[in-house]
Chain A
Amino acid sequence: MHIPDGFLDLSICAIMYGVTGVFWIFAFRKAGRVLSDRQVPLMATLTAMFFAAQMMNYPIIGGTTAHLLGGPILAITLGPYAGLISMTIILLIQALLFGDGGITTFGANVWNMGVVGVFVPYLVYLLALRAMKSRSGLFIGAFAGALVGDVLSAIFAGLELGLSTLSFPYSVSIAVMAMATHHVIIGIGEGAVTAIILSVLQKTRPDLLQLPKLSPNWLSGSQQ
Chain B
Amino acid sequence: MTRTMRMLTVGIMISVLFVVVGVVWLSNSAETLDHVAEHIGASESPVWNPPIPDYEMPGLEGNVVANIAVGLVFMLVTLGATFTVGKCLRSKRRV
Q: Interface of A with B (CB < 8 Å)?
A: 1-7, 28, 31-33, 35-49, 51-53, 55-60, 62-67, 85-86, 89-90, 93, 95-100, 102-104, 154, 157, 167-170, 175, 178-179, 182-183, 186, 205, 208
Beyond A65-B26, A102-B46: 16 further Cβ-contacts under 8 Å?
Answer: A5-B45, A5-B46, A6-B45, A41-B4, A48-B78, A49-B14, A52-B14, A52-B15, A55-B55, A62-B35, A64-B32, A65-B31, A93-B81, A97-B74, A99-B48, A169-B40
B75 near A51 (CB under 8 angstroms)?
yes
Q: Which of A52, A63, A86, A186 has the most CB of B within 10 A?
A: A52
Contacts of A55 in B (CB 8 A): 18-19, 22-23, 27, 55, 71
B7 near A1 (CB under 8 angstroms)?
no
B residues 1-47 near A (Cβ < 8 Å) are 3-4, 7-8, 11-12, 14-16, 18-19, 21-23, 26-37, 40-47
B36 near A51 (CB under 8 angstroms)?
no
Give Cα A104–Cα B22 distance, bound, in whole angstroms: 27
B51 near A97 (CB under 8 angstroms)?
yes
Contacts of A96 in B (CB 8 A): 48, 50
Within the complex, what minimum Cβ distance (angstroms) separates B10 from chain A?
Answer: 8
* Residue in A93, A103, A205 whose beta carbon sits within 8 Å of that of B77 in the complex: A93
B18 near A56 (CB under 8 angstroms)?
yes
B53 near A56 (CB under 8 angstroms)?
no
Query: What are 9 pairs between A and B in contact, CB < 8 Å?
Result: A41-B4, A44-B83, A52-B15, A55-B19, A65-B31, A97-B52, A102-B46, A102-B47, A169-B42
Contacts of A45 in B (CB 8 A): 7-8, 11-12, 79
A98 near B52 (CB under 8 angstroms)?
yes
Q: How large is the interface on B (under 10, 10 to 19, 20 to 34, 35 or more residues)?
A: 35 or more
Contacts of B77 in A (CB 8 A): 93
Contacts of A99 in B (CB 8 A): 46, 48-50, 53-54
Give Cα A56–Cα B14 distance, bound, in whole angstroms: 12
Within the complex, what minimum Cβ distance (angstroms) separates B23 from chain A?
Answer: 7
B50 near A97 (CB under 8 angstroms)?
yes
Contacts of B79 in A (CB 8 A): 44-45, 47-48
Q: Which residue of B lies closest to A68 (CB)?
A: B18
B82 within 8 A of A: yes
Give Cα A59–Cα B87 distance, bound, in whole angstroms: 38
Contacts of A51 in B (CB 8 A): 15, 74-75, 78
Contacts of B78 in A (CB 8 A): 47-48, 51, 89-90, 93
Q: Which residue of B lies closest to A104 (CB)?
A: B47
Contacts of A175 in B (CB 8 A): 36
Give Cα A67–Cα B29 distance, bound, in whole angstroms: 11
Give Cα A80–Cα B56 distance, bound, in whole angstroms: 32
Q: Which residue of B lies closest to A185 (CB)?
A: B32
B18 near A64 (CB under 8 angstroms)?
no
Within the complex, what minimum Cβ distance (angstroms) separates B81 from chain A?
Answer: 6
B64 within 8 A of A: no
A-B residue pairs, 10 tightest by C-beta: A6-B45, A45-B11, A55-B22, A40-B86, A99-B50, A52-B18, A48-B79, A56-B22, A52-B15, A65-B29
